[in-house]
């Protein structure tokens, strides 16, 4: 997930400097008391309850259990498992809710946020600069879960009679696997492409928009929903003519997963094909030449 690049700093202290409260928590994992200038700290969102790139998502309860399991765990690179890559450790973990954001499932967004410390020493200076410079940002968590359930039928995913596939649309939501009941947490790592797009070093929270801005955004969102609904229906009608053998339900499932721009393009293609399959001509055509022999068989 995401790394928070700045901690709350007292006046004149360097970014990443721990507070007295931070040091008290860090000292639970050290063999001696460390001075504030010996330690570099940062925040990171390791995982959340949103559907990720692998078609999976953690439940809210799973995030809570992972927060307890990850406390004291180490930080690596690319899940290597090598001692030489062991340079960081989690000293605080909690689930943080964002009341202004919802997941694709319509649930309140929640993320597992951790505080991580590392030593300010020669071999870590390059990594610290890379974190501060936004180069080392994306992270991924390594853990084990007991339950992997289908979001559609609730059965163990791919087993026990579950025949659903990830990505299939059901009521406007893609089928995915629910990750629940974590049994262990091993480590977290800096990676190039995390499974969860939101995973990584996070910046300090920005100022929230005021009520007027929120209302304007809500109106735009509503307008967008209306346009999307109309565009989808228009595409389905044109598609029914252009591809008469395709069932409407199948076509709708395909169209709902498309971004609006691609849906517009598909609609235009369908309309062009429909015009060829079912050309429409006006009953009265001004100035058209009459075919004198067209009604010859009806003359008395």
pLDDT in tens, 153-175: 999 998 888 999 999 998 888 99
Which of 145, 168, 201 marks a domain boundary? 201
7: tokens are: 């901690």
Is residue 295 domain-resident?
A: no
42: tokens are: 């940062």
The whole-number pLDDT of residue 113 equals: 95
Instruction: Kindly state whether residues 191 and 82 are assigned to the same domain.
Output: yes
Cα dihedral 286/292/295/300 (nearest 10): 130
The whole-number pLDDT of residue 159 equals: 87
246: tokens are: 């395709």
Is residue 296 domain-resident?
A: no
pTM, two decimals, is 0.61
Q: What is the DSSP string of 86-122?
A: --EEEEEEEEEEEEEEE-TTSPEEEEEEEEEEEE-SG
Instruction: Kindly state whether residues 230 and 197 are assigned to the same domain.
Output: no
Which of 175, 201, 227 marks a domain boundary? 201
Instruction: Kindly state whether residues 197 and 233 are assigned to the same domain.
Output: no
Instruction: Kindly state whether residues 221 and 75 are assigned to the same domain.
Output: no
279: tokens are: 């050309």
Instruction: Kindly state whether residues 115 and 248 are assigned to the same domain.
Output: no
Instruction: Kindly state whether residues 70 and 172 are assigned to the same domain.
Output: yes
What residues contact residue 26 under an 8 Å CB cut-off, 6+ apart?
18, 34, 39, 41, 91, 117
Instruction: Kindly state whether residues 34 and 179 are assigned to the same domain.
Output: yes
**pLDDT over 70 at 31, yes or no:** yes
Instruction: Kindly state whether residues 134 and 247 are assigned to the same domain.
Output: no
pLDDT in tens, 95-152: 999 988 999 888 999 999 999 999 999 999 999 999 999 888 888 888 999 999 999 9
- Give Cα 162 distance to the centre of its chain: 25
Is residue 124 domain-resident?
A: yes
Instruction: Kindly state whether residues 224 and 82 are assigned to the same domain.
Output: no
pLDDT in tens, 189-230: 888 876 666 655 544 444 455 667 777 777 888 888 888 999
Residue from 207, 18, 40 nearest 132 by CA: 40
Q: How does 1-19 read in b/e, with b if 16+ C-beta sit within 10 Å?
A: bbbbbebeeeeeeeebbbe
Instruction: Kindly state whether residues 179 and 224 are assigned to the same domain.
Output: no
The whole-number pLDDT of residue 299 equals: 57
33: tokens are: 């008391």
How far is Cα 27 from Cα 200, in angstroms, rounded to an integer? 25
Which of 201, 224, 240 marks a domain boundary? 201
Is residue 128 domain-resident?
A: yes
Is residue 206 domain-resident?
A: no
**What percent of the chain stands above pLDDT 90?**
46
Residue from 13, 47, 7, 1 nearest 132 by CA: 7
Is residue 283 domain-resident?
A: no
Cα Rg for the chain, rounded, in angstroms?
A: 28
The whole-number pLDDT of residue 35 equals: 96
* Domain encompassing residue 217: 211-275
Region 31-38: mean pLDDT is 95
- Considering its fold, how many domains does the chain have in total? 2
Is residue 292 domain-resident?
A: no
Instruction: Kindly state whether residues 179 and 118 are assigned to the same domain.
Output: yes
The whole-number pLDDT of residue 175 equals: 94
Instruction: Kindly state whether residues 163 and 255 are assigned to the same domain.
Output: no
């Amino acid at each position: 997930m995401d790394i928070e690049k700045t901690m709350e700093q007292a006046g004149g202290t360097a970014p990443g400097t721990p507070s007295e409260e931070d040091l008290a928590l860090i000292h639970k994992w050290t063999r001696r008391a460390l001075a504030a200038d010996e330690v570099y700290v940062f925040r990171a969102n390791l995982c959340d309850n949103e559907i990720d790139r692998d078609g999976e998502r953690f439940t809210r309860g799973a995030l809570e259990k992972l927060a307890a399991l990850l406390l004291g765990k180490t930080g690596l690179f690319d899940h290597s498992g090598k001692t030489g890559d062991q340079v960081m450790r989690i000293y605080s973990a909690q689930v943080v809710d964002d009341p202004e954001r919802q997941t694709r499932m319509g649930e309140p967004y929640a993320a597992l946020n951790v505080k991580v410390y590392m030593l300010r020493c020669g071999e870590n200076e390059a990594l610290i600069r890379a974190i501060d410079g936004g180069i080392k940002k994306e992270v991924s968590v390594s853990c084990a879960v007991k339950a992997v359930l289908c979001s559609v039928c609730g059965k163990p995913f791919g087993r026990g009679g579950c025949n659903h596939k990830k990505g299939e649309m059901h009521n406007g939501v893609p089928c995915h696997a629910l990750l629940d009941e974590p049994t262990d947490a091993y480590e977290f790592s800096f990676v190039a492409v995390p499974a969860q797009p939101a995973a990584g070093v996070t910046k300090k929270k920005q100022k929230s928009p005021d009520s007027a801005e929120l209302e304007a955004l809500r109106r735009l969102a509503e307008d967008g929903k209306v346009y999307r609904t109309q565009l989808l229906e228009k595409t389905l009608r044109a598609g029914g003519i252009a591809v008469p053998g395709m069932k409407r339900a199948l076509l709708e499932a395909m169209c709902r997963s498309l971004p609006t721009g691609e849906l517009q393009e598909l609609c235009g293609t369908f309309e062009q094909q429909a015009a060829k399959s079912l050309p429409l001509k006006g009953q009265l055509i001004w100035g058209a030449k009459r075919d004198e022999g067209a009604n010859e068989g009806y003359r008395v």
